[in-house]
Amino acid sequence: MKVSRLAQCGNWFLDRFPLTKLWNEHMAHYYAPKNFNFFYFFGSLALLVLVIQIITGILLTMNYKPDAKLAFDSVEYIMRDVNWGWLVRYMHSTGASAFFIVIYLHMFRGLLYGSFKHPRELIWIFGMLLFVALMAEAFMGYLLPWGQMSYWGAQVIISLFSAIPVIGDDLSLWLRGDYVVSDATLNRFFAFHVIAVPLALVLLVFLHIVALHEVGSNNPDGIDIKKNKDANGIPLDGVPFHPYYTVKDIVGVAVFLLFFSTVIFYMPEMGGYFLEHANFIPADPMKTPEHIAPVWYFTPFYAILRAIPDKFAGVIAMGGAIVVLFLLPWLDRSPVKSIRYRGGIYKKALALFVVSFLVLGYLGTQPATPTATTFARIFTAVYFGFFLLMPIYTRWEKTKPLPERLTEQPSLEDHIPALIGIFEEITVKEPIKTQNGTILLSRRPNSAGLLNVIIRLAKKLKESLD
């Protein structure tokens, strides 16, 4: 049988590059736990958003001018005159916020199921380095539109480095490239945003995935599936990542793109949280905005900074809020990984931590009034208490026994009858007579049924936390 030219080229390539081996090791023959749930979409979604950001970033640089006199106008040119330029710009700006939403949920999944615990400490460290690099990338890119909030936000954040003893002033001067935020700063940040930090991000993503596939994926039960294998060495509770999870991830991608597109086409500014109103005004070094605040994904750490009265101590606290995340694998002393088998103390602590993070995020967007500062200090204490007290309360709490094999949790289809029953309970049918005399049955809220459902939900929540 004669081999086609295309097959010959393919064989020539495969003889010289281990593509088949890579595919088998990381996709077809990589066995993942069979009980992945909703929270396991966010890893692949983070990779998708990274690709979107790289592609749209390349397209934007084709028309962007990294010049203090031209930068703002070049962004306006992209929005108004470049074919589909508005779409590319909105995809990039929305993608920045989407990236942090996905990453924060990905990190929350790690806290839920103990994905940072042995033997996945290195995976967590690489992930946290990715998070820091992503924050640097977002900060550098935030200056590039050269709007009012970009300019003054960079001025405030860079000035914080001057609080560091001995090297602070020189470090701030090096970051700016000048004594004030100027054209030199813009060029410096452009180089970091377009070349240096993306290279670091891609390298860290590679290391993160390689480390993950070396020790295997965690799961909602926190059980190592490699302990139970068949005669061929295949985990009994594992399934090949391809095609099972590649196909499943397509569903997650489709749902994500639905929301992503809705924001891009209908609400790209998201009420001033994704694109601030002040950033549609050219940067003016002589006019300070009334209220300077970073983008929403930095606001929890900004609130911690403002909660501390001393500038240097505030910088230390803000940095410590990130550094403490690196120490998480060694702070948690619980013998189990997943929240399903932890005691009520950790569940309550995690709930308080999530509340503190959300409240700090909101306070970071508001002016620093005395009341807001008081609340920021309270929730800053809660934030650090979750981590610093972890070695104590994770030892104290009573955990549940781990099963030998992965457990099967109810799927969405299993919950549908119960959801229909709840809908029937919280609504009541009411006949309505139309203009032509026909009778239609309409539903209205049933206050008694709604109260019963809330009471049952509160009882179940209390039981889950006990």
Would you list the DSSP string of 114-156?
TTTSTT-HHHHHHHHHHHHHHHHHHHHHHHTT-BHHHHHHHHH
Please report the pLDDT score of residue 311 as a whole number: 87
Question: Angle CA(73)–CA(153)–CA(98) in degrees, nearest 5?
Answer: 80
Give the span between the Cα atoms of 385 and 213, in whole angstroms.
33
Check residue 404 and give its pLDDT. 86
Q: What is the pTM of this model?
A: 0.90
For residues 108 and 297, give the distance between their C-alpha atoms in angstroms, rounded to a whole number: 15
**398 phi/psi in degrees, rounded to 5:** -95, 120
Residue 448: per-residue pLDDT: 82
What pLDDT does residue 412 have? 58
Gap between the Cα atoms of 95 and 47, Å rounded: 12
pLDDT value at residue 164: 86
- The pLDDT assigned to 411 comes to 61
pLDDT at 428: 80
- In angstroms, the CA 103 to CA 201 distance is 13
Q: Give the Å distances, CA to CA, from 378 to 26, 250, 345, 418.
A: 45, 42, 20, 39
Q: Give the DSSP H/E element, type plus range, for residue 240.
A: strand 238-240
pLDDT, tens digit only, all 466 positions of the chain: 556 888 889 889 988 998 888 888 888 889 999 999 989 999 999 999 999 999 999 999 999 999 999 999 999 999 999 999 999 999 999 999 999 999 999 999 999 999 999 999 999 999 999 999 999 999 999 999 999 999 998 998 898 888 888 888 899 999 899 888 999 999 999 999 999 999 999 999 999 999 999 999 999 999 999 888 888 889 999 999 999 999 999 999 999 999 999 999 999 999 889 998 889 999 998 888 888 888 999 999 999 999 999 889 999 999 999 999 999 999 999 999 999 999 899 999 999 999 999 999 999 999 989 999 999 999 999 999 999 999 999 998 899 999 888 887 666 556 678 778 887 888 887 777 766 767 766 777 888 888 888 888 888 777 766 6
Question: Which secondary-structure segment (H or E) carries 431?
Answer: strand 427-433
Is there a contact between 345 and 397 (Cβ–Cβ < 8 Å)?
yes
